Every structure is written in C-alpha cells, then in structure tokens.
Structure 1
C-alpha cells in the first residue's frame, strides 16, 4: 500500500478509508507531512469537517530534545518563496469536531530517545536542524532529489533518513501503540455506529496503524484519494 508518492512533479499523500464488511464504522487515515503547501492543509481540513471524531497526534508538553528535532520543520516555512507552511492544529483541525489526542508526553518521547546509543542520539539531535536549514534554502527540491527514495515511510526531512532500526523504534513505537489502543477503544465502543473517524498522524506512523487496524480488528483499505502536498517549483 503506497502512502506517499514522490515524482519529479511533486509530492502526494494518499487519504485511505478503512472499513469492515460487517460494521458501519470507518477509519479515514490522513498521512501528514509537517511542512506542506497551505492548499494541502486546507484540503485535509475540508475532509475532516465531515468526520464525527478526529484522532490526532501531538506530543504534549515541551522538552529541549523534542524541540531540537522539530527545528527541521520550523525552519522551512521561514523562506516565503518556498510556498510552504508548518502544520498547525489551528489550520488543520476543525474546532467543531470532537478531538482525541492519545500521543505521548514530551518526557516520554525524551525517555524513548535516550534509549538510543549515545552517538546516534547526539547525531539525531544535531542533524535535524541542519537538514531543516537545507530544506529552508532548497525548498521542495530537497524532497525531489534522486537519492531520496520514498516508499511507505516518507522522510519529511533528511533527519528522518536516520530513522532505521532502533531510531524508528524510539521515535514511533510507543506512539503507534497508544494510537492503536485508542482506535481499538473506538472500535469496541462504537463499531455499530455509522460514524467516520479521521486519523491525522505523520505519514511515518500510517503503515503501522493500517496494519494494526487490519490485523487486530479486521479493517481493510477500501478507498484512497490522492492529495497534493506540494508541487515542484
């Protein structure tokens, strides 16, 4: 199942609807990139307005380590000619739809990062803002380089290219478990209702979420809609 498509023309994200044959509830997965065009976030928001519940990521609280990683995303929109903005709840999530946030705290995220070998931990914290600066200067072209292969796990910045093995485990494993547990509770309590649950998480989380919904609860992809994250400039 392809989630992010990168071509010479730009980047697209697949909005995936998952259903079971015997229950009316459906989950709609929105693979997010933390830096994108305003039009992409506007399209996501429009579709979320039709949902009955939104389950969204968002680390609660602050820490120096988490702040260092997110510098990569905060740098890019500062160069206006890139035409990109940072993902913010205010521009993506409609206030009228009930919101659940089963994500980790900053302290938990930091604790998970500290399980990495020291050199990996240090490199990750140093590399993220450096790659953010590269993205700021080069804009969307940084996504479209031939040496950047994107399959089911996209790299929102090249800092995430470090996310192999223990790194991806530290960055996502606990968060994926919490998310799947929350979706499981919705399934257990509301599977008999004809409601739509929008799942708004970084694209790197979506493969695990889709697999968990399939293997644990029997939901399978039934529809997909491509949204343009940004086009080549």
Structure 2
C-alpha cells in the first residue's frame, strides 16, 4: 500500500481512510512530508478541519525538520520544486480536539518552536547545506521519498533511529490503540497526521491487530512539483 510516491512529475502523499466492519470509527491517515508547496499544507488543514479528533506529531508549531531543509535549499540556491515552505499548520485554529502522543502542548507557548527544535536547526542545516552543495541542484529529485506500508525507514546513527522513530512510534501506536478501544462505538473520524516514515507502523497496527481495512479510492495530494 503506497503512502507517498515519486515520479518525474513530483512527490505526492495519500489521504488514506481505514474502516472497521464492526465499528463506525474511521481513521484518516495523512502521511506528511515536512517540506512542500503552500497549497499542500492548505489542503491538509482543510482535511483536518473535517475530522472529529486529530492525532498530531510533536507539538503545535513549525516543523524544525522542514525548516532545516528549506533553509539549506535556499542557501544552496536550489529552485527545484518551485516555491516551497516548511510544515506549519496551526492546529488550534482548526477548532478540532488534538492529541499529542509526544507530549502535551505547554500553555502560553502556542506556536513557539521549543529548544530541541532550534537544536535540530543548528545541527541539521550545516549538514544539509554541505550535502546539497556537493550533490548539486537536483537534491530533491534524487532523494527517495517513497514510503509504503511495508517500508522500514532507517536513520543513522542507531541512537537517532531509536529516539526519533522507534520510541515515538511506540507512543503513537499506544495512543491509537487506546482511541480504538475507548471510542470504537462512536461515529467519528480520527485524523493521524505524522511524518510519512511513521505511517508504515500505523498501517500495520490498524490493518493487522486492530482489523481496519483501507477504503478504496484514496485521495492523492501533490507535495512538490519536479
């Protein structure tokens, strides 16, 4: 099951709805790329606003990963993909209850990037800038952004893989399992908006142990034009 796909025309991500034969609850999966066209994030926000509950990644504020990529692209003067922005969805403005498996939003710090986000920028921007400068101006085109339900994304070194993927996947899956058990008799749509690398584990949980099945005819959103 494809979650993101890359062709000569660009990068797309799917909107995948999963249903259960014995439950009216639906999960709406939004595998997200943290850097993309402005209208991509506008479409995501509109889709989120139609749901009854949102399970979102990290915190309510700009993506430090997306901002690092965008900064490095501008420093190396790469224009592939046209005008791009980093993910910066204002969840509070959507008016939909939002759950943050990675931790609750701190009152009074709405929309402010936390300290670890700035540390991400400090460490990632130099590395990405050098990588893009050495590799040339087709960096985005060469990157493998394709993710499917049987993908096994890996990060190096191993400590980053454990902290950024394994541990956070564990929190996310526990949250979704709890929602299924507590609210499976409700007629609600639960949106799951996370980086695409986290979604293979989500699909395997929902379609495997919990018994959900994908609805036919998933909607595709254009993230980046090539």
- What TM-score results when the alignment is normalised by the length of structure 1? 0.72
Other-structure match for 1:228 = 222
> Unpaired segments of 5 or more residues in structure 2?
105-121
In 1, the alpha carbon distance for the partners of 2:157 and 2:68 equals 21
- Which residue, out of 204, 214, 230, partners 2:197? 204
Structure 2 vs 1, CA of residues 76 and 32 (structure 1 numbering), >3 Å: closer, same or farther? Answer: farther
Other-structure match for 1:181 = 174
Cα distance, 1:169 vs structure 2: 3.3
**Bigger shift: residues 182-191 or 72-81:** 72-81
- Which residue, out of 134, 139, 142, partners 1:142? 139
> Unpaired segments of 5 or more residues in structure 1?
106-124, 154-160
Deviations 1:168-227 (A, max 9, x none): 333211111111111111111111111000001000100011111122311122232110
**Bigger shift: residues 80-89 or 214-223:** 80-89
Q: Is 1:75 the counterpart of 2:67 in the alignment?
A: no
CA RMSD of aligned residues (A): 3.5
Aligned residue pairs: how many? 200
Other-structure match for 1:4 = 4
In 1, the alpha carbon distance for the partners of 2:125 and 2:26 equals 36
In 2, the alpha carbon distance for the partners of 1:178 and 1:201 equals 12
In 1, the alpha carbon distance for the partners of 2:189 and 2:133 equals 36
Alignment of 1:117-136 (within 5 A): 129-132=126-129
In 1, the alpha carbon distance for the partners of 2:46 and 2:124 equals 35
In 2, the alpha carbon distance for the partners of 1:194 and 1:139 equals 50
Deviations 1:142-168 (A, max 9, x none): 2212xx334326xxxxxxx97268343
Other-structure match for 1:84 = 84
Deviations 1:26-84 (A, max 9, x none): 001101111110010011111111100000001599xxxx97x6663351575796401
Other-structure match for 1:43 = 43
Other-structure match for 1:17 = 17
In 1, the alpha carbon distance for the partners of 2:88 and 2:129 equals 17
- What TM-score results when the alignment is normalised by the length of structure 2? 0.74
The structure richer in helix per residue is: 1
